[in-house]
Each structure stands twice: as structure tokens, then as C-alpha cells.
Amino acid sequence: MKQPISITGISAISAEKSTGSLGSHALCFDKGLETWVGKIPEEILAEIEAIRDENRNYQALDASVLYAMYVSRLAVKQSGWEVNSDFGINIGSSRGATQLFEKYYDAFLETGKSETLASPSTTLGNISSWVAQDLQNNGPDISHSITCSTALHAVLNGVAWLQSGMCKKFLVGGSEAALTPFTIAQMKAIKTYTRASVDAEFPCLALDLDKTENTMVLGEGAAAVCLEIGIKENALAYINGVGYATEKLKHAVSISAEATCFQKSMEMAIEDAFGETGNDGISAFAEMTKNVDAIVMHAPGTIAGDQTEYKAIQKLFGANLPLLTTNKWKIGHTFGASGLLSFEAAVRMLQSGNYEEVPFVSQQAQPKKLKNILVNAVGFGGNAVSILITGT
């Protein structure tokens, strides 16, 4: 990487009431939806709803937009950036304005007419544009969707803008508010959703490679990160390597047996951080892998998703297998926001020095100090992203 990227502010919301809680999940069984979900706690939702009441223009916004506004305000405040200053914004979502879109479409089916605000309040660009309105930034505002790797693609975009010199500061994020009957029905239709009973100890068995059925649980959440070019005194951690890849698919939701896209994205991120392999090839890369202390895996809780990513890691790291973890067993899969929630978990571990394990998965011994953590995300379409984060 040309220059390290400083992470100067970060904020995340999910089903967890206290970040980094160990040993217990934050999922709940929703009787209305008749399944397990990861809901943002009521006290945080109350703070988010207070934002809606601040401005009459915010009244018609989807929850996904308000979630993004909430975490963006907190991240920018932590970074010390001034509102109405020069920084870019790129916040994405997999599903976008899910709740409003379904509400407006239901009304259309009933009346045959569309409500006035249906279009402006459900466009994907709605997220970044309203965050920009709220923060009054002077810079580019971008929204995008690339399924479950959306948030880490926002990081890629932010890094590219910073490295190009077109911006000195960039706010990146992901937001998802898709706990709706239709969205969950879609996941059940492709047979990825958990069938765990109401009394299950762990309804989502993310990273359990011995499970015999899919156990994905949908969660809602959002995260925002402030990035700046170069080394900063207030940096929480640094981005030292990025990688990305897309693989050829057999069908819309497939992934190869050894997740070729992950192998390529992880290899690219490691080489970006620690140097090209040059003529030494395999042996030089093997030495580089020793620098990676842990990986926050995408691990969605499905059989294929968990196993193929693990096989990709095995193939790439060989005997230098790092610690492996995921947060989806406790907060659910937050689709487009999931990559940055994993990113936030990695930064948290680097700052605290405490490795956050999956309680039902055995692990190897923890290193004396966590210095470099790789974060993975992948989505429908075989698009993988890997980000190498280094502690201060």
C-alpha cells in the first residue's frame, strides 16, 4: 500500500447491547416473524427515533437511512472532524430502504396508486445523500450495493479516493434494516435460514464446520468509519492492505469449493500490506502469512459459506493458520453492513488486546499480542473483499 490509512473514528450498532460481550449471543426469537433475528436494542432505537424528530424532512426516511445517520454522527464526532468540512461519503446497503419499499408496495397493491414520497425515499442513493445533508460535508457522496460485501467495498472506495489524492478524509459505512417478513421469506426460500427452536442455545452456528444444516440468522445494524490518509496521532488502527476478487459462478448464490475469490482477495491484501512475493514466490508468501494473527471471517452460518471460506484460509495459510473468529453467531448476518461490523470487531480486538472467540468452536493458543487482523466479506455474485488492519 502506498501509504497507511488511519482509522480515526468508528461507530457501530447491532443486536449487541455491549460491544465485545463474550460467551453469549444477542439474538432473540421474534414471535411475529416466527424465527430468530438480531434486533438493535430498544434504547438505541429510541435515540435513533429522536433523530427523526429533529427535522421534518427526516420524518419520511427509512430506518436504514436513520441508522446510517446515527453511526455517522458518532464516528465523525470521535474523529474530531468538523461538520460542514471537506470529506467524502460512501455508505452502502444490500437491501436499501427495505421497510419503506415493502410498505409502499403493499399500499400500491391495495389502492393501485403510489404514495408521493415512495420514489425519493426508497432510492439507494437516499442513504449517503441524507447523511451528507445531515453532516453538510463538502465532498463526493456515493451509495452502492454489492450484496453482503457492500460495506467493505465502501472501504475499498474510500481507500482509492484517499490514495489518489482526490480526498484527504473519507467516511465509509454500511446500513441494513431488513427484518421484514418478505426478506426473511426470501432467505428461507433458498434454505439458508436457521430452523432452530425457540429454546436453542446457539441458533446461529457460524463457523461450526460440523453442523448438518444451514443456520443463518438475519440481523439489523449499521457501522461508519472515518478514514484519513497517512499516520495520524488520533488513529485507532490502520488499514495496511486491501484485496478484492470475483469468481465465476455456477448459479446466482454459489461459491467454489475452496472459495477462489477469498483466496485471491486475502492474498492481494497480504501482499499489499507486506510486499510483493517477487521471484521467491510461494516461500516468500508463506513468510508473509505469519504476520496475520487473526481473521474475522464472513462465516454466515451456512454449511457451504463457512466451509468454503475455511478451506480457502487453509489453502492460503497452510501451517501458519491464524486465529479464526466471526461475530454472526451473536448478532446475526447484517447483509450490507456485516463487513464493517466485522471491521469494528477487529479494531476493538486490536485496541483491547482481547481475542473474541466463538464459544462453541475450539481454537488454538492466542498470540501474546494481536497486531494484524484480516477481515473478510463476500456476497451473492462471488465478490470477495479482504482488509488487513494493523494496531497502533
- Mean pLDDT, the chain, rounded, equals 93
Give the chain's count of helices (H) and strands (E): 11, 13
Q: 14-23, 70-79, 338-347: which range is least confident on average?
A: 14-23
145, three cell numbers: 450495493
The closest alpha carbon to 248, from 257, 260, 266, belongs to 260
Q: Is a pLDDT exceeding 80 seen at residue 92?
A: yes
Distance between start and end Cα atoms, the chain? 17
Grid cell 474523529 — which residue?
Answer: 79
Residues 6+ apart with CB under 8 A from 62: 96, 97, 98, 99, 100, 101, 121, 122, 126, 177
**SS3 of 16, please?**
coil
What's the CA angle centered on 115, arms 113 and 116, to 5 degrees? 125
Q: 141-150, 240-249, 296-305: which range is least confident on average?
A: 240-249
C-alpha to C-alpha distance for 69 and 147, rounded to whole angstroms: 20
Q: 12-21, 118-127, 289-298: which range is least confident on average?
A: 12-21
* pLDDT 10s digits, 151-198: 999 999 999 999 999 999 999 999 999 999 999 999 999 999 999 999
Taking a C-beta distance cutoff of 8 angstroms, is the pair 209, 308 a contact?
A: no
Q: Is a pLDDT exceeding 70 seen at residue 115?
A: yes
The number of CA neighbours under 13 Å toward the Cβ of 288 is 23
C-alpha to C-alpha distance for 163 and 150, rounded to whole angstroms: 20
Predicted TM-score (pTM) of the model is: 0.95
**SS3 of 44, please?**
helix
The number of CA neighbours under 13 Å toward the Cβ of 319 is 3
Q: 41-45, 281-285, 301-305: which range is least confident on average?
A: 281-285
Q: Which residues pair with 241 in a beta bridge?
A: 388
C-alpha to C-alpha distance for 144 and 151, rounded to whole angstroms: 9
Grid cell 446461529 — which residue?
Answer: 204
Domains, the chain: 5-229 (3.40.47.10), 237-391 (3.40.47.10)
Identify residue 76 by its one-letter amino acid code: V
Q: Is a pLDDT exceeding 60 seen at residue 26?
A: yes
DSSP for 341-369 reads HHHHHHHHHHHH------TTS--PPPPSS
C-alpha to C-alpha distance for 220 and 312, rounded to whole angstroms: 28
Q: How many beta carbons lie within 10 A of that of residue 251, not counting itself?
A: 5
pLDDT band at 366 (very low <50, low <70, confident <90, very high): confident
Instruction: Supply the pLDDT for residue 254.
Output: 53
* pLDDT 10s digits, 200-242: 999 999 999 999 999 999 999 999 999 999 999 999 999 999 9
Sheet strands side by side (includes 218-219): 28-30, 35-38, 218-219
Identify residue 361 by its one-letter amino acid code: V
Share of the chain above pLDDT 90, in %: 86
Residue ranges of the alpha helices (H) in the chain?
A: 42-52, 63-79, 98-111, 126-135, 150-164, 181-189, 260-274, 281-289, 303-317, 328-331, 338-352
Q: 50-54, 190-194, 284-288: which range is least confident on average?
A: 284-288
